[in-house]
Amino acid sequence: MIDLIKLEEGLKYLRLDETYELVKLKQSLGSISDESLELIYEICNIEIASKSNRASQTMIKTSNFPHHKTLDEFDFTFQPGISEGKIKALTDLKFVDNHENIIFIGSPGVGKTHLATSIGLATSSKRISTYFIKCSQLLTNLKEAFEENRLDDRLKHYCKYKVLIIDEVGFLPINELESKILFQLIDKRYEKKSTIFTSNLTFDKWHTLFGQEELANAIIDRIVHHSHLFNISGDSYRLKDKLDDAQNRAN
């Protein structure tokens, strides 16, 4: 039995209102068979799925990811210190609804960017606005906007994303102006949107990064307050790949 309410919703979603009115009229007159209704219903579902998939792919393309590696491609056995269950639980995307942050801290090469990007792929595939950017590039963009008296507009741009991934916080030095501008962005997103951070510095070293202890505390407080924090202390994947390549050549 065809659910006419779902059929109506589907045709309206596809902006085929007149088609639905025609189907409803023919059904009331008894001039359309159940087989025809089932065929229309099936075609409608196929078109909805196709449209949804195209929208997801467009969202992924505009999210600026450095790669499209998923969690299934992450070798959790190489990083036993990371809870696979806790990481994969984040893909239920409740952290987005709760406006929670995710923080990955660890040495270069341990998989921070892979994990952050994989979660970002999960959000963007559900058509949740997501954007990936290196911290150095983000600060360059914001500083240029500040110098051109359009900082507010640029901050609004980065605040519009439900999920913003800021990669490699602390990889390069941050001056006083950049610290204050970054604080403004974090403060505007605080308890309103979700931000994913990756950093090679533990929080006790962020005071050196931002120069002013009070400012560093304010930034850390807003980042950590509602968050999922992962400290990764394993070996570098890049080193692992080099060793694997060397072993393969030796064999």
Q: What is the pLDDT of residue 242?
A: 46
- DSSP E strand boundaries for 61-214: 101-106, 130-134, 163-169, 194-199
Whose CA is closest to 202, among 179, 232, 180, 239?
A: 232
Sign, Cα dihedral of 185, 187, 193, 197? positive
The residue type of 239 is L
**What is the average pLDDT across 245-251?**
50
Report whether pLDDT(243) > 50.
no
CATH code, residues 71-242:
3.40.50.300
Please state, rounded to an integer, the average pLDDT across all residues of the chain. Answer: 88
CA distances (Å), origin 51, targets 4, 57, 131:
21, 10, 22
Reported as a pLDDT band with limits 50, 70 and 90, residue 246 is very low
CA distance 232 to 197: 13
CA distance 163 to 171: 21
Q: What is the pLDDT of residue 155?
A: 98
Q: What is the pLDDT of residue 34?
A: 78
CATH 3.40.50.300 residue spans of the chain? 71-242
Reported as a pLDDT band with limits 50, 70 and 90, residue 68 is very high
